[in-house]
Amino acid sequence: MPQDQILKVWGELACFTRPELKVERFSYPVITPSAARGIYDAIYCQPAEFRWQLTRIEVLAYPRYIALRRNEVKDKAPSSMTILRWMEGKEEVKPIFADDNPPDDTKGRTQRQTMALKNVCYRLHAYIRPWPGFEARLPALEAQFRRRASQGKCIYQPYLGCREFPAYFELVEPGAQMETPPPIDLDIGLMLYDVFDLSRPGKPLDTANDELPSISLFRAEVRNGTVTVPDYESDAVLKGRRVANA
């Protein structure tokens, strides 16, 4: 049976943006399952073999907000396939300019208000869910994750909602003494669960057709400092259709 892999995660700033806010960024009071899964993926992921399933989020520091103004570029980053073609020299590189953006000579950035969190700290619980045909690999996958996490290794720097807010982590070994979360009780309401379809195996580089968003939500509550995260397949997770932009 899969065992929960536990991480203690902290950082100076975090922003887990509510999807209903289109322009200004306003963070949920605690980390979302999607952002937590991203931290695990940053340490170890094999999307063709398994995915991470969050089970619990323990809030080890009271949520505290801070108002920031940040410069953001207006253009979106290209798809991973486009970037790969740039790297292979098969397509001309088209950079994103923050200022003096040719050919219209207008600024490519905008300043936006952000209500972020400061000095966050969480204890995350998640387990590896192998895809069909890879169940026998479970012990090796778990051992590889623990080895990487215990040495501080990661594929890329984990972050807390936004890439400029780095996340620091340490592995909590089985049987280790753990601090009790503070008595925080919050009714968050509907919270973002994930932005991808977690019901199917992924690929290292999906085609543009497979990158369509698949938003899911769940009703989140913090009870005694803990958020219980339902399985993605559970009826407690509200899933939307994968629809391309019109």
Of 9-13, 44-48, 198-202, which gets the smallest average pLDDT? 198-202
Tell me the backbone φ, ψ of residue 186, rounded to 5 degrees.
-140, 140
Q: Round to whole Å and give the CA distance between 189 and 219.
A: 5
Model confidence at 149: pLDDT above 90: yes
CA distance linking residue 128 with residue 39, whole number of Å: 14
Give 69-83 pLDDT, tens digit per residue.
877 776 777 777 888
Is it the case that residue 204 has pLDDT exceeding 80? no
* CATH numeric code, 5-70+111-239: 3.30.70.2660
Sheet of 216-222: strands edge to edge?
186-194, 216-222, 237-239
pLDDT tens track for 177-193: 899 999 999 999 999 99
Q: Select the more confidently predicted residue: 57 or 91.
A: 57
Question: Given this model, what pLDDT does residue 104 score?
Answer: 57
The structure's pTM equals 0.84
- Domain residue ranges in the chain: 5-70+111-239
pLDDT single digits (tens) 163-177: 899 999 999 998 888
pLDDT averaged over every residue in the chain: 87
Burial of 91: CB neighbours in 10 Å, binned 0-12, 13-18, 19+: middle
150/35 Cα distance (integer angstroms): 20
CA angle 31, 33, 34 (to 5 degrees): 100
Whole-angstrom distance, CA of residue 19 vs CA of residue 191: 9
End-to-end CA distance of the chain: 43
Residue 106 has pLDDT above 70, yes or no: no
